[in-house]
Amino acid sequence: MSSINDLISLSHELGREDRELAILGEGNTSCRIDDKTFLVKASGSSLSTMSAGDVTECRFAPLLDLLDQADASDEKILSVLQASQVDAKAKRPSTEAVFHAYLLSLPGITWVGHTHPVAVNGLLCSPRANDFAGRRSCPDEIVCCGPTSLLLPYVDPGLALAKAIRSGIEGYSKTNGKIPRLILLTNHGLIAPASGPGGVLAATRMAVKMAKVFSLAAIHGGPIFLEPADVQRIENRSDEAYRRKQLGV
């Protein structure tokens, strides 16, 4: 299945040690197969060494239903995760499979990458997280990561986080008329939902670059942010829209 090969390729790119995006079992990736199932990294697997045996196919329905349950024990969540597996003998899906299911059910989103970049987490574990999420410093940051990012407070990973992501995206979409290209999780990491693996990698790598720029600018008394009108100009230019399409963002 080509989707498995593409998912493995993306995972290896995100798991490269020199990029400092994820180590050991950190992070997870997924892609939609069709309206009923998707592929997701298995729990405990490493992005850098992921193989076909570390990919689990899951059904959307049980995981999306779980989002609407007012309260679910850890045991209940685990049983639903296992019940969602197409192959019961496959490795257990990531505990974050619920938010992957939700994001992959959104219009235009067929790939998701979640990582814990050192440079980005340096800001997400600081008082400057709001500035990094809500302001932009360079044009290509807008192209790859959107005019603003969705920033969520720290939430317990798993079902609670999936519910927070759904609530956050609903609020962001109502205000901005679109889905965020980058989701930032305070004291945790980032999520890049996209229409293709290239979009996931573009948003992730650009977020890392801009986190480094932000930190360097702070040393010199900055950063200096673009004005809102300039941000919207880049966001709405037809040539930049074309570039986004080529990147799969």
Q: What is the pLDDT of residues 163-217, one digit of tens each?
A: 999 999 999 999 999 999 999 999 999 999 999 999 999 999 999 999 999 999 9
What is the number of H-type helices and E-type strands within the chain? 11, 7
Given this model, what pLDDT does residue 2 score?
A: 56
pLDDT band at 30 (very low <50, low <70, confident <90, very high): very high
Given this model, what pLDDT does residue 227 score?
A: 97
CATH assignment, 2-247: 3.40.225.10
- Per DSSP (E only), the strands in the chain are 28-32, 37-41, 55-59, 111-115, 150-152, 183-185, 189-194
> Which residue's entry shows tokens 């969540």?
77
Asked whether the beta carbons of 211 and 117 are under 8 A apart, the reply is yes
Dist. CA 61–CA 80, nearest whole Å: 10
Q: Are strands 37-41 and 150-152 parallel, antiparallel or unpaired?
A: unpaired
Phi, psi of 170 (to 5 degrees): -60, -40
What's the token pair of residue 197?
């693996």
Measuring CA to CA, how many Å separate 230 from each of 109, 147, 197, 225? 27, 10, 28, 10
Give the range among 53-57, 86-90, 103-107, 152-156 with minimum mean pLDDT.
86-90
Dist. CA 47–CA 179, nearest whole Å: 26
Structure pTM?
0.95
What's the token pair of residue 74?
């850890």
18-28 burial: b if 16+ Cβ within 10 Å, else e: ebebbeeebbb
The answer, yes or no, to whether residue 226 has pLDDT greater than 90, is yes
The answer, yes or no, to whether residue 1 has pLDDT greater than 60, is no
What's the token pair of residue 35?
């309206």
Between helices 238-247 and 228-236, what is the axis angle to 10°?
70
What's the token pair of residue 67?
């989002």
Given this model, what pLDDT does residue 60 score?
A: 97
* Residue ranges of domains in the chain: 2-247
Dist. CA 238–CA 243, nearest whole Å: 9
End-to-end Cα separation, the chain, in angstroms: 23
**Sheet (strand 111-115) strand order:** 55-59, 37-41, 28-32, 111-115, 189-194, 183-185, 150-152
Q: What is the pLDDT of residues 116-172, one digit of tens each?
A: 999 999 999 999 999 999 999 999 999 999 999 999 999 999 999 999 999 999 999
